[in-house]
Amino acid sequence: MKAFTYERAKSVAEAVKKVASNPDAKFIAGGTNILDLMKIEIETPTHLVDINQLGLDQIEPTADGGLRIGALVTNTDLAADDRVRRDYGLLSRAIVAGASGQLRNKATTAGNLLQRTRCPYFYDTNQPCNKRSPGSGCSAIGGVTRQHAIIGSSESCIATHPSDMAIALRVFDASVETVKPDGRARSIPIADFHKLPGNTPDVETAIERGEFITAVVLPPPIEGKHIYRKVRDRRSYAFALISVGAVIQPDGTGRVALGGVAHKPWRIERADEELKNGAAATTAVLLADARPTEHNEFKIELVKRTLGAVISEARG
């Protein structure tokens, strides 16, 4: 690990200023992703700004009946919150499907959204990787790709986004509140927050360097059965091969998003309209442009069957 200096920020403005003014500085929240990346020198900040004492650890109701989740609310506290369990059950279930209890105790809402891919070639610093080292090539293409994306990928990168929580946020159409380096606040719809890889897989989200996430805002709750199904090679403590997050009403209509298939939570609003027609019809719309590899074409059938199970569960 490269040597680095460390300080605790006392205000959001101070944290933003410290990181925005130093290209080698980064925020640290729970540290469960950034420290791992620093240990293997994929991330090499020379200065860490700890944001844990900024008081952004509250979940508050919004005027329109939604919830504002502070950036530093831990995954454990968010999943266990009575209002979240009652009104946003999908979010609670998606979070507890991820990582382990100990990790969720430290992991934060903002850090979870910004966690980096689990593509094994990204972690192997002996291999070319456009995300880690732009322009070096993609070792996954032509390599072992069981875990990789089947849709939305590019000639530069076929990695997936690993967050379970983000799949639920996409179903709810949450938004991410930030403070930009110039001090201005903005709100980014979750649909636009994570990017597809295109020619710049190193650019993973809409936020700028030094931009600080203050909160995630949930719109008012959606009625219906909230279901999250994650399929993985191991029953726990593993990332999704694919996952399905859905809210389904008694008449069969609803909303659905997929994890483990793309560089971002995968939702196509038009597919929601097919939910009442069943899993095959919905999958056909969601994955119409799928371009799987020989190692991961099974994911298309896996999505269809998992969605079938989700729809059956919703119908009781």
Judged by CB under 6 A, the residue of 26, 131, 255, 304 near ligand SF4 is 131
Region of residue 133 (phi > 0: left; psi between -120 and 50: alpha; otherwise: beta): beta
107 binds, among ligand FAD, ligand SF4, none (CB under 5 to 8 A by kind): ligand FAD
Among 260, 268, 263, which Cα is nearest to 284's? Answer: 268
C-beta closer to ligand SF4: residue 49 or 159 = 159
Among 42, 24, 25, which Cα is nearest to 33's? Answer: 42
Tell me the pairing of strands 212-218 and 175-179: antiparallel
- For 172, the 3-state DSSP assignment is helix
Q: Is 283 in the site for ligand SF4 (CB under 6 A)?
A: no
Q: Dihedral of CA 137/143/145/151: which sign? A: positive
Among 149, 155, 176, 104, which Cα is nearest to 241's? Answer: 149
Residue in this structure with the two tokens 């999958």, named with its chain if needed? 283
- The minimum distance between CB 7 and ligand FAD, in angstroms, equals 14
Binding to ligand FAD, residues 137-176 (CB under 6 A): 162-165
Both tokens of 57, joined, read 């650890």
Both tokens of 223, joined, read 């009625």
Binding to ligand FAD, residues 58-117 (CB under 6 A): 71, 98-99, 103, 106-108, 110-112, 114-115
Number of residues counted as binding ligand FAD (CB under 6 A): 30
119 binds, among ligand SF4, ligand FAD, none (CB under 5 to 8 A by kind): ligand SF4
Q: Say how far residue 71 (Cα) sits from the centre of its chain.
A: 14
Q: Is 119 in the site for ligand SF4 (CB under 6 A)?
A: yes
Q: Is 56 in the site for ligand SF4 (CB under 6 A)?
A: no
- For 116, the 3-state DSSP assignment is coil
Number of residues counted as binding ligand SF4 (CB under 6 A): 14
Q: Is 140 in the site for ligand SF4 (CB under 6 A)?
A: yes
Q: Which residues bind ligand FAD (CB under 6 A)?
A: 26-34, 36, 51, 71, 98-99, 103, 106-108, 110-112, 114-115, 162-165, 212-213, 239
Residues at the interface with ligand SF4 (CB under 6 A): 117, 119, 121-122, 129-131, 138-140, 157-159, 201
